Every structure is written in C-alpha cells, then in structure tokens.
Amino acid sequence: MIKNIQQRYHHGDLRTSLIKATVEMINKQGVEAITMRSLSNWVGVSRTAAYRHFSNKVDLLTATATEGFKQFSLALRVARLDYSEDELGRFRLMGQAYVQFAIEHSAYYGLMFSDASIQKTDAFDEASSAAFTELVDILVTLQEANKIKTEDPKMQANFVWSLMHGFSSLLINGKLQHIDDLSKEMTYLDQKIMASLVE
C-alpha cells in the first residue's frame, strides 16, 4: 500500500519546496519572520531536514534570491521577445516588466537586493549579472540600429537600471508619496527615459 504523501519519510523534492515556502512566508510575514523551524514545519518535515540541502539559513536565503534573479531575467527576456513590437517598443516593455515583477514578487525582489540576509555566491552573481546583461544587450542592439544615442552602453544601462530599481524599491516600501495613478507615473518615467536616450 502506498503511503500518504504527507507521511512519507522522504519528502521527494524538499529543496524546491523549501525555496517556495521561503517565498510564501516572506510575502506573508516578511524576512525577519523566517525561521528554519517554522519553514520545516510548514513543509511538513523535521527541524533540521533543510540542512541536507542548504548549509545554513543564509545559504537557503541566498538560493532563494538566486532563484528570484532567474525568474526575473526570464520575465525581462519574455518582454524582449514580444515581436508584436519593434525593438524600441520591446525595450519599453522590459521597463514595464521590470516594475511589474518587483510589484508582483516583492518578496523575491526585496530579498534579491537585500545585502543583509544574503551572502553572495558564484551562482548568485551569475544569476544577478544575467539580468543586467539582458539590459546592456538590448541597448547595444538599439545603438547599432540607430534607434538611440551612441554612448557607452554600460553607462546607459546603469542609468536605466538605477531609475528602475530606485522606483521599484521605493514603490514597494511605500516611500514614494502621492501616487494615485501608477500607470501615469510610469508613463512619465518612460518619457524621461526615451528623451534621455533618443537623439
């Protein structure tokens, strides 16, 4: 007779489940509320089971942030491959996708850019710079097609990235005042970026 899933000794895919549980718990209660015990309990496993998959709590959180960056890069890439738009339109879609990801996955986003709860690893750096590369790439392409100014693309990327990250994180933390119409605010930013990059 096959045992009930909840009662099996071996969980099956504990590593993935723990990361999912971490994201859910951050969304509901914030990072500070995360404990190895409550996490294990939530997943239905004993206190120290997580240590078979992560060397410690920081390692688990870092892995979660790394996973976040992967999904983030994916979201940006999806926007970049929307061929119903021209290249410049796709670039603007990426901007929308950026903010949308930050809002919809604020737990991930906060963790990804929190220096406190995380300790950088090679995997983390790789996932994190992949997202940045996504941005530099399209800027280079746009320059080659003469759609935007010819400037150091890394500087352009730092500019756009700073603006997007600043806006998203201030928005998430409720530090931007008097925003009744988000899309209006984003349109404003879009105009500023376009004016800054287009000749």
Residues lying near DNA in the complex (CB under 7 A) are found at 8-12, 14, 34-38, 40, 45-49, 51-53, 55-58
Query: Which C-beta is closer to its own copies: that of 93 or that of 118?
Result: 118
Cα distances (Å, whole numbers) of residue 95 to 14, 43, 139, 160, 185? 34, 35, 12, 9, 13
Reading the block at residue 135, the tokens are 């941005």
Query: Which C-beta is closer to DNA: that of 57 or that of 154?
Result: 57
Which residue reads 């940006």 in tokens?
76
Which residue reads 């489940």 in tokens?
17
- Report whether 118 contacts 62 (CB < 8 A): yes
Which residue reads 């603006």 in tokens?
163
CA 136 to chain CA centroid, Å, is 17
146 binds its own copies (CB under 8 A): no
Select from its own copies, DNA, none the partner in contact with residue 42, using the beta carbon and a kind-dependent cut-off of 5 to 8 Å: none
* Interacting residues of 196 by C-beta distance below 8 A, sequence separation 6+: 159
- Report whether 111 contacts 65 (CB < 8 A): yes
113 binds its own copies (CB under 8 A): yes
The residue range among 8-16, 17-25, 26-34, 84-92 that interacts with its own copies, by the rule CB under 8 A, is: 26-34
137 binds its own copies (CB under 8 A): no
Minimal distance in Å, beta carbon 29 to its own copies? 11
Select from its own copies, DNA, none the partner in contact with residue 178, using the beta carbon and a kind-dependent cut-off of 5 to 8 Å: its own copies
Minimal distance in Å, beta carbon 35 to DNA? 3
Q: Name the DSSP class of 18.
A: H
Query: Which C-beta is closer to its own copies: that of 16 or that of 162?
Result: 162
Query: Which C-beta is closer to its own copies: that of 46 or that of 187?
Result: 187
Q: What is the dihedral of CA 128, 130, 133, 135, to 10 degrees?
A: -80
- From CA 193, how far away is CA 130, in angstroms rounded? 22
Minimal distance in Å, beta carbon 44 to its own copies? 27
31 binds its own copies (CB under 8 A): yes
